[in-house]
């Protein structure tokens, strides 16, 4: 074996990768701090696309805490995620996570209750991330790009009105084809329960990039929050604010990359690191703000992109 080929093979053995799918079960607020507009507490968004995003640092901290509760503060935890802040100079963790990127966004529909919408730009990014993680595309082919006010969905989708039209929010779209390869690929990976898998296959809609961007910018939930003066039964001064939430059913994904342990005395391979996270991450995590009022409950799945 030549030296470059041997080096590439050795590098492949030292890295393992998976996709972490996140399915919001309740309203989700990955906050961004202060706001410039009328919404006091907006969700975090990418600067260039204005699509919602969950920062990788937030996600990694949540997964670390879940693994700590499941397995305890021990050498394995520190080898995977890195040591405590006071000892951060000793070694780096063996696990890295990208930001969680939007995959599909729920939008109300005239028929079929709601649709999950996505777009070619999101799917192209997903394929690029799969290649980045050496996971390939596993038979998932990009669907044909729909035009403005056009849509791709299953031919027998309950979303269809008269067999050809969809009405999402107040907008009408014409069905021009399907995206069955995509829906089949996603259904068995992004969600765990059988009912949601079937619904995802029939309710996923691919829209034009601009139509998708309009929905993720303007079809979120904005909720008024108040603090009451209990004596006067009125709103406390300065205690009325508006908070933005991503609706329940929103789908995200993140790329999880593992390398061999860097901690002295630990010989975990990249595969062992990934297996540790998969074993100790519970099927549900709380992500974002407002935990005490039931927000941010998410079903999560850590899967290899090549798995069926």
For the segment 24-49, what is each residue's pLDDT rounded down to a tens digit?
999 999 987 667 678 889 999 999 99
Please check the confidence at residue 10 and state whether its pLDDT lies above 80: no
Average pLDDT value for residue range 283-296: 94
276, pLDDT greater than 80: yes
What lies within 8 Å, CB to CB, of 7 at 6+ separation is none
- Residue 9 is predicted with a pLDDT of 41
Q: What pLDDT does 305 receive?
A: 52
Helix ranges (H only) for 220-269 are: none
Q: How confident is the model at residue 143 (pLDDT cuts 50, 70, 90)?
A: confident
Q: Across all residues in the chain, what is the average pLDDT? A: 89
Structure-token pair, residue 16: 């393992």
With CA atoms as reference, report the closest residue to 191 among 278, 104, 61: 104
Confidence of residue 284 (pLDDT cuts 50, 70, 90): very high
Q: What is the pLDDT of residues 233-271, one digit of tens each?
A: 777 776 788 899 999 999 999 999 999 998 887 788 999
* Percentage of residues in the chain having pLDDT higher than 90: 69
Which residue reads 């701090």 in tokens? Answer: 33
pLDDT of residue 133: 82
User: Across residues 76-86, what is the average pLDDT?
Assistant: 88
pLDDT reported for residue 3: 45
pLDDT digits (tens, 9 = 90+) for 89-125: 788 899 999 999 999 999 999 999 999 999 999 999 9
**pTM here?**
0.90
CA pair distance 149, 207, nearest whole angstrom: 8
Tell me phi and psi for residue 270, to 5 degrees.
Answer: -60, -40
């Amino acid at each position: 074996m030549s030296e470059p080929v041997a080096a590439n093979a050795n590098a492949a053995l030292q890295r393992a990768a998976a996709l972490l799918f996140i399915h919001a079960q309740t309203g989700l607020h990955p906050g961004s701090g202060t706001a410039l507009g009328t919404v006091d507490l907006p969700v975090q968004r990418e600067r260039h696309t204005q699509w919602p995003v969950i920062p990788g640092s937030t996600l990694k901290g949540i997964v670390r805490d879940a693994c700590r509760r499941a397995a305890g503060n021990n050498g394995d935890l520190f080898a995977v995620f890195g040591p405590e802040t006071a000892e951060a100079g000793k070694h780096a963790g063996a696990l890295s996570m990208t930001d969680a990127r939007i995959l599909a966004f729920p939008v109300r529909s005239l028929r079929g209750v709601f649709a999950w919408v996505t777009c070619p730009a999101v799917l192209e990014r997903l394929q690029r991330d799969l290649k980045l993680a050496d996971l390939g595309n596993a038979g998932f082919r990009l669907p044909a790009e729909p035009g403005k006010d056009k849509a791709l969905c299953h031919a027998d989708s309950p979303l269809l009105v008269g067999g050809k039209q969809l009405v999402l929010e107040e907008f009408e779209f014409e069905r021009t084809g399907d995206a069955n390869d995509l829906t089949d690929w996603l259904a068995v990976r992004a969600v765990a329960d059988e009912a949601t898998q079937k619904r995802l296959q029939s309710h996923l809609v691919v829209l034009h990039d601009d139509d998708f961007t309009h929905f993720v910018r303007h079809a979120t939930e904005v909720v008024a929050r108040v603090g009451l003066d209990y004596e006067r039964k009125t709103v406390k001064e300065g205690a009325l604010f508006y908070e933005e939430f991503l609706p329940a059913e929103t789908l995200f994904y993140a790329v999880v990359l593992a390398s061999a342990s860097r901690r002295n005395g630990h010989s975990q391979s990249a595969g062992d690191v990934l297996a540790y996270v998969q074993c100790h991450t519970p099927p549900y995590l709380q992500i974002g703000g407002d935990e005490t009022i039931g927000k941010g409950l998410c079903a999560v799945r850590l899967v290899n992109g090549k798995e069926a």
